[in-house]
Amino acid sequence: MIESLIKAQAYGLGFDLIGIARLGPAASTTAFDAWLERGYEGEMAYMSRTAGKRRDSRLPFPAAKSAIVVGMDYGGREPSGPVARYARGDDYHDVFLERLRELHARVDEIAGAHVEGKAYVDTGPILERDLARSAGLGWFGKNTMLINPKRGSFFFLGELLVDLELQPDAPFETDHCGTCRRCIEACPTGAIVEERVIDSTRCISYLTIEIKGEIPREFHGAMSEMVYGCDVCQDVCPWNDKFASTLREPAFRARRAIGDKDAPTLAREILAADDEHFRVAFKNSPMKRAKLRGLKRNAAVVLGDAER
């Protein structure tokens, strides 16, 4: 079967999870619309701007008939620290897109002809977790992360939409969170306002990465150890405690500028950095999204709490 050959090639390229989904209306549209109506996207205006396409996975790339959905682990066994694990190495967008384009080339070889396709990694107008659940890769945890029963949640998602009628995998229909509320109770800012609903405007990842202005003072104490991003809701998840993997992909290893530094040390170095140092030290890093100005803002908050 062509599906088995495609999956074998995907595993060979270093992906840890692979599933195939049929394209169509997103099952989580109602929840997504309610999230937008409550203003939980904050300054991420692109979520509302592209909402129409996000509601139906056939719209971003109309030629496509199927989605090959992949996941790649980024090392949930690495020690916690002031930078979220996903952001310590090279930008996952670049790593993923390169692998997905190679997968596309191999799909062409398997099909014996060029297959129209388009790769997406986080930046396209797609409700990726919805598509991944449809491809059988996991369920939505109460912290909104996609959780796989054999890998936990420390993995990236990406999709290759293709003009092929592929046999889809069975959707992941069950919920394995049970009565557990560890992620909700552990969130430093109370951003998980109810099961599977995050108010992004309270989330430390959003506050340290997405907003352009100052971080509201009410959250300063909660982010005293976090310079960029936050892993708390994943750290406390029992599925990660049991199934998170050690880091295997070299591209995601922590760069020298981050290493195993504690929050005050990293914050002081960031505050002392100039544009040239930032450009060199964080080349190809996802942390460039916040720009040096944003990182200095975060560092100032961390040091302000550390030195009280």
Cβ-Cβ contacts under 8 Å for 8 (sequence gap 6 or more): none
69, 103 in Cβ contact below 8 A?
no
Residue tagged active-site, from 122, 163, 235, 305: 122
Look at the block and give the residue holding tokens 């992941």.
172
Asked if 16 is an active-site residue, the reply is no
Burial (CB count <10 Å: 0-12, 13-18, 19+), residue 277: middle
Element (H, E) at 69: strand 66-73
Query: 147 vs 73, 138, 157, CA distance in Å?
Result: 12, 5, 11
Closest alpha carbon to 284 in 154, 92, 74: 92
Query: 2 vs 10, 46, 177, 203, 268, CA distance in Å?
Result: 12, 36, 34, 42, 53
CA distance 33 to 36: 5
Closest alpha carbon to 9 in 81, 68, 76: 68
263, 227 in Cβ contact below 8 A?
yes
Closest alpha carbon to 130 in 237, 199, 31: 31
Residues forming the active site: 122
